Amino acid sequence: MSIKLRANVLHTVCTSLGGISRDELARRLHVSSTTAYRLERGDVSPSPRFIASLMHVTGQPFDQLFEIVSEVG
């Protein structure tokens, strides 16, 4: 199993924070813009630090921002 961002979460968060850019959101989350992009695409799994940061910045619970997916092999 793995954790991934729900679809369009970063776009929604940027909008809810007054229309900030994704680069600005990445800065607030203490990650690079590239990392934010890779997380959004599902190329990498979010770290515990990223999860905590996104929950803190948004005030949203885990289940509204992330989903747990089972890996089919």
Q: What is the reported pLDDT for 73?
A: 61
| β-strand partners of 38 | none
Segment-wise mean pLDDT, segments of 10 residues, the chain, 73 residues: 94 95 95 94 94 96 95 70
User: What stretches of the chain adopt beta strand conformation (E)?
Assistant: 2-5, 66-69
Q: Has domain 2-69 been given CATH number 1.10.260.40?
A: yes
* pTM metric for this prediction: 0.88
Q: What is the reported pLDDT for 71?
A: 76
Residue 30 per-residue DSSP state: T
Domain ranges of the chain: 2-69
